[in-house]
Structure formats: C-alpha cells, structure tokens
C-alpha cells in the first residue's frame, strides 16, 4: 500500500485472529480449534465464525490454515450438540460459568446461554463456504448432521406456534438489555412463521422477539444447509424440508417485516411481533439490516434494502451517531454516542460508491486512537474513548475490508 499507516493497520489487524485468539489441536484424530473473541476467554459461535471467515480464500493454498478452519467447524458442531440455545462456550467442557448467576438451564462448559438465531446461522455459513471452497466433506460427519437436525428443531421451537418453547432466560442485573421480561420468555408474539430470538447479535435483549435481520440470515442459512444435505448426504427429503422451511420464513418476512416510512418509503423493520408492532432502527452488530447483502441474505440492489440502508445511515435511526471524529451506527450495548468500527466496515462492504468506500477507509484509519487496531466502539467526538482494546472480530473484518478494496479499487487506498 502506498499509505504506510494503512499498511501498518492491515499488518496488525488481518492476522490478529491467528496471532492471538486460536488454540488449534485435535480431538479423536480430527482437527479441533478453540477461538476466543479477544479479551474474553470464551468461544462465541458467531464471533469464531466471523473471525476465521476472511481466511477462507486462502485455505486452498495453506494446508495448516485449512485444518484450522476445519477444526473450528468441528468444535462448533460439538458446541451445538451440547446446547443449541447457548451463544458462548469454554474450552474446558467441565468448567462452570461464574460470570453470572443466570436463571436458565446452564450446563458445564457453557459460558453464556443467550438464545440468538445468528449463533446457529454463522456455523452453517462457515461450513457451507468451507465446503464450496475446498470440496472437503470430512467435517460433515454424523455429528454435523445431528447438529443440523438440532438447529431445525430449535428454530421450529422458537417459531412459537403452539407454546413459548423450552427456553427462558433471566439475569439479576441493573442492565435491562441483559435479561428478558415475563419470566424470561420475553414479550408475546403472534405466530406467523418467523423465529423468535431472545437476544440480538450484540448479546442485548430484543424488544420484540422477531428479529428481522436474523430471520433473513436464517433463510439464507437454511438454504445453504439444504444444498449440503442434497449434495453431501444425498437427502432429497431433507433438502425439501429445509427449503420449505426457508420459504415459510421468507413469506412471513414479506408479510410482517415491511413497513412504509414517510421519508424512505418501503423499508424493513428491525424487530416485529406479528401483531403489527415494530421497531425502526439498526444495530451495529452483524447480522444487521445494513449487513444483509454481505451475509448473502439479500441482493445489494434490492430497492427495499437500499431504502432501509438509507434509513439506517441517517438521523432516523436512533443509533446513528454523527460527531467530529466520525459518523456511523452504534447500539445500546455500550451506550449512546459510541460508534462501532464493525458498522463502518459493513457500510464500506455494502457500498458501490467510491466516495463512500473511501470515506469508510479514512474513518477507520483516523479513529484507531494510535493503537494500530480496531475497537468494539469509540466516542463519536473522541476516538481515544473506546471500548475493548482487543476485539479480534473487528480487527479481522477490517483486514477483509481493506483486502477487498485493494483487489477491486486500489486507487482508494491512496
């Protein structure tokens, strides 16, 4: 890169997951990889998938890296079999969480048990892309097939067609976003085909349980899993079941997630309840409405997505912050006026406008507070006020963004 600071940032951030957060090994003669998020010694299904995702284009050139990613898939399979409702796990299967005394069905080896739809989507996304990249089917054994069955069972339970399902979660806390109302089941929904999520990808509680970005992600993930059942397992019935399930959710999204906004026209709500209630906002954490094309859940040029994107990146989104240092989306997880680099990155990854992409690059370059790394969030007027100095997801994702710009629009990097 002609810009030495961007070169320095890329050199720090892109390999950060490999440099600092992975513990590769073997289990029963198979690759087995534990991946922490950074400053928390636990493996999130979401974060671990996202952290190794940018390396997929390289795994056909590097056998050790390929084994490492296969090990992540194998480890995630075992975690899903342990508890499909949990979002984060320990390396030690006997370790009992002392982080919080939560009122839910905790097990040893589970760090946190916040039910989030995307926790089951991200491993499918990683597995599908690994398979398409390598053609390797070794990670997709009987355990993986059983994990997919458990994913479908969990999604079905959380459609809440006949009951609220088996999952509930309460925490004694001063932070309302860390617990769920009404005995831990959350606010009621009217069954309509959508899947309820107790928590958002930020690990914050949903206000209305039908989280729209995560339902879009579920549609894409179910279709990917269906293709794998057909091609890897030769299961016509399994393929038909998953495709029909994805179609059911897609129809429900068209029926319940579309809102007419007075300024932006037809847009997607962030959350709905099936009764007509909805929230109009976006959160920085992925899946977000902004990130849906990045996840393969919507076409980039879809008119309703573009309307929603304009809303999310405007003052009409209560969590869009604009200050002297930068402007972009944050969320309630760390409070007002805190911008998340992940959202700036997603804005760049979902843009086709050179000026916008370059502005995202420059915003990220100017807000790392001299550390050489991305952070969870920073204050809109003062990047030196930041949270999480070691957050590998943001670092590796930033590397992915710069690599994409370098390949497609190198002139934007100076």
Class of the 12-322 domain?
mainly alpha
Q: What is the mean pLDDT of residues 142-146?
A: 98
What is the per-residue pLDDT for 7?
Answer: 96
Q: What is the mean pLDDT of residues 55-70?
A: 98
Tens of pLDDT, residue by residue over 340-354, are 999 999 999 999 999
pLDDT at position 215 over 90:
yes
Q: Where are the beta strands (DSSP E) in 54-200?
A: 88-89, 102-103, 110-112, 170-171
Q: What residues contact 263, with CB distance under 8 A and at least 6 apart?
A: 311, 316
3-state secondary structure at position 369? coil
Write out the DSSP string of 77-89.
HHHHHH-TT-SEE
Given a contact cutoff of 8 angstroms between Cβ atoms, the answer to whether 82 and 119 are in contact is no
Average pLDDT over the chain reads: 97
What is the per-residue pLDDT for 169?
Answer: 97
Given a contact cutoff of 8 angstroms between Cβ atoms, the answer to whether 270 and 260 are in contact is no
pTM for this predicted structure: 0.97
3-state secondary structure at position 111? strand
pLDDT at position 235 over 80:
yes
- Residue 122 tokens, joined: 């991200």
Write out the DSSP string of 25-58.
EEETTEEEEEE--BSSSSEEHHHHHHHHGGGGGG
Give the whole-number percent of the chain exceeding pLDDT 90: 98
What is the per-residue pLDDT for 178?
Answer: 95
| Rounded-to-integer distance, Cα 72 and Cα 33, Å | 5
- Residue 328 tokens, joined: 């972009």
CA dihedral sign of residues 206, 252, 213, 87: positive
Q: What is the mean pLDDT of residues 261-275?
A: 98
Locate the domains of the chain by residue range.
12-322
Tens of pLDDT, residue by residue over 288-300, are 999 999 999 999 9
What is the per-residue pLDDT for 101?
Answer: 83
What is the per-residue pLDDT for 361?
Answer: 98
Write out the DSSP string of 212-277.
HHHHHHHHHHHHHHHHHHHHTS--HHHHHHHHHHHHHHHHHHHHHTEEEETTTEEEE-SEE-SSS-
């Amino acid at each position: 890169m002609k810009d030495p600071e961007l070169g320095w940032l890329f050199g720090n951030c892109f390999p950060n997951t490999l440099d600092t957060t992975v513990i590769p090994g073997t289990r029963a003669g198979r690759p087995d990889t534990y991946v922490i998020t950074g400053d928390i010694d636990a493996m999130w299904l979401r974060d671990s998938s996202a952290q190794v995702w940018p390396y997929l284009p390289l795994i056909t050139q590097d056998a050790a890296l390929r084994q490492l990613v296969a090990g992540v898939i194998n480890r995630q399979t075992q975690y899903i079999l342990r508890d499909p409702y949990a979002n984060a796990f320990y390396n030690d299967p006997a370790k009992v969480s002392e982080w919080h005394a939560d009122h839910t069905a905790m097990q040893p080896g589970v760090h946190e048990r916040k039910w989030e739809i995307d926790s089951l989507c991200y491993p499918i996304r990683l597995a599908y892309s690994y398979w398409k990249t390598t053609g390797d089917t070794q990670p997709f054994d009987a355990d993986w097939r059983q994990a997919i069955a458990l994913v479908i069972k969990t999604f079905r339970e959380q459609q809440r067609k006949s009951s609220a399902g088996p999952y509930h979660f309460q925490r004694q806390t001063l932070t309302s976003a860390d617990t769920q109302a009404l005995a831990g089941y959350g606010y009621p929904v009217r069954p309509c085909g959508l899947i309820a999520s107790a928590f958002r990808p930020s690990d914050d509680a949903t206000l209305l349980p039908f989280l729209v970005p995560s339902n879009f992600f579920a549609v894409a993930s179910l279709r990917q899993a269906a293709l794998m059942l057909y091609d890897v397992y030769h299961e016509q019935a399994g393929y038909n079941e998953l495709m029909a399930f994805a179609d059911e959710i897609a129809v429900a999204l068209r029926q319940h997630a579309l809102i007419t906004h007075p300024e932006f026209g037809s847009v997607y709500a962030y959350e709905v309840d099936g009764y007509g209630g909805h929230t109009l906002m976006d959160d920085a954490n992925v899946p977000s409405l902004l990130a849906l094309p990045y996840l393969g859940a919507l076409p980039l040029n879809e008119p309703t997505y573009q309307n929603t994107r304009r809303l999310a990146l405007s003052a009409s989104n209560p969590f869009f912050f604009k200050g002297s240092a930068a402007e972009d989306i944050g969320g309630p997880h760390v409070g007002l006026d805190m911008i998340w680099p992940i959202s700036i990155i997603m804005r760049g990854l979902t843009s086709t406008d050179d000026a916008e992409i370059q502005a995202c690059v420059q915003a990220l370059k100017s807000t790392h507070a001299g550390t050489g790394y991305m952070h969870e969030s920073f204050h809109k007027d003062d990047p030196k006020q930041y949270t999480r100095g070691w957050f590998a997801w943001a670092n590796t994702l930033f590397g992915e963004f710069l690599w994409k710009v370098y390949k497609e629009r190198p002139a934007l990097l100076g």
